[in-house]
Amino acid sequence: MSESTSQSATTAAQKGGHGAPAPAHGGHDAHGAHGGHGGPHLAHHFDTYQQQFDAGKLGIWLFLLTEVLFFSGLFCAYTVYRGMHPEVFVYAHYFLNTTMGAINTCVLLISSLTAAWSVRNAQLAQRKLLVLNIVITIACACTFMVVKFFEYEHKFHDGLLPGPAFHPTEQVWELESFKHKHPEAAEYAEKLTKAAEEKDKAKAAPVAVAAGSTVAPETGVFEKPTEEQIEPLIKAGVIGPMAEDPTRPSKPRNAHVFFGIYFFMTGLHGIHVLGGIGVFIWLLLRANKGEFGPKYFGPIDYAALYWHLVDLIWIYLFPLLYLIH
């Protein structure tokens, strides 16, 4: 930075005779750093601030394009897998904490506001407000990561991990979120499980091997279940053709794939949030020195644009992962 600064200063000096523009700058600038000629923040390879700003803006937009396409790969994986195995998504969404997701959505939205506001502050050379807004943005981003940490920790604890590490400690019908939505189905699943266990015991006793071991519990043991009892279970792949274990309520086959997608999408997003925190800390230090003003607010604007894109991706992730019906 300092190199380009000095270079631009000499360029400005060489050009000399900046009579007209200089006072116009000074009038707009709140802090002296920008006064005088070309200004310390005009890189030597740009003729004007406008050119510098526009070039940066084009650059950040191109970067955002690559980001959109980058994430679209994961969205594609999500779409295809959900199209093929809706039951896996229905099953897995009971394990996600909608409240935490909603809190994180709100936190990100607020940080988006402060990021957008900080651009305004930089444009108007409101240094204190700019610093404050950047601090709030960073605080919100950190809050997001803390909530994410607790969510991840919970998932790790419950064995909700992608691939071969997927060993859920709880069955889906034992979850509060499931019981709350489908109390009858939860009860029914419990009954089926007990029946299957009894059958296992009977099987273990040598006498009972012969009869009835292949009979599915729902046909063998109970009177015909009602729609409310059975439908949520089939939709979640707990029983029925998609279930892993035909003899008792279990989980859908390949349920771990959801958590692969979940961790990849939220993880990649989380990395972007971490990157954003780093960028905003850097900008905070610079803003504190009063480097930004009406002619040089590009970095704030670009970082805010990036931050909005991160928010944008979360706007889609939240309903796709947490609000599955």
Q: List Cβ neighbours of 250 (8 Å cut-off, separation of 6 or more).
A: 171, 238, 239, 243, 244
Give the span between the Cα atoms of 110 and 322, in whole angstroms.
20
Site for another protein in 184-213 (CB under 8 A): none
Q: Which is nearer to another protein, 22 or 135 (CB)?
A: 22
Give the number of residues in contact with another protein, rule: CB under 8 A.
Answer: 74
Give the range of 1-9, 63-71, 138-146, 184-192 binding another protein by CB under 8 A: 63-71
Q: Which is nearer to another protein, 51 or 226 (CB)?
A: 51
Cα angle value 250/253/256 (rounded, 5°): 100
Residue of 40, 240, 249, 299 that binds another protein (CB under 8 A) = 240
* Smallest distance, another protein to C-beta of residue 79, A: 6
**Angle at which helices 298-317 and 127-157 cross, to 10°:** 30
Please provide the DSSP assignment of 175-191 as one string. Answer: SHHHHHH-HHHHHHHHH
In the block, tokens 């859920």 appear at 168
Should residue 228 be labelled a site residue for another protein when binding is judged by CB under 8 A?
A: no
Should residue 268 be labelled a site residue for another protein when binding is judged by CB under 8 A?
A: no
Give the range of 19-27, 171-179, 184-192, 268-276 binding another protein by CB under 8 A: 19-27
SS3 263: helix
The token pair at 197 is 């266990």
Binding mask of the shown chain, residues 283 to 302, with x at each position contacting another protein by CB under 8 A: -----------xx-xx--x-
* Smallest distance, another protein to C-beta of residue 259, A: 20
Site for another protein in 98-157 (CB under 8 A): 98, 102, 105-106, 109-110, 112-113, 115-117, 119-120, 123-124
Cα angle value 311/314/316 (rounded, 5°): 120
Give the range of 65-73, 146-154, 158-166, 188-196 binding another protein by CB under 8 A: 65-73
Assign 3-state DSSP to the chain and report helix, strand, coil percentages, each to 5: 70, 0, 25
* Smallest distance, another protein to C-beta of residue 86, A: 9
**Residue 163 CB-half CA count within 13 A:** 2
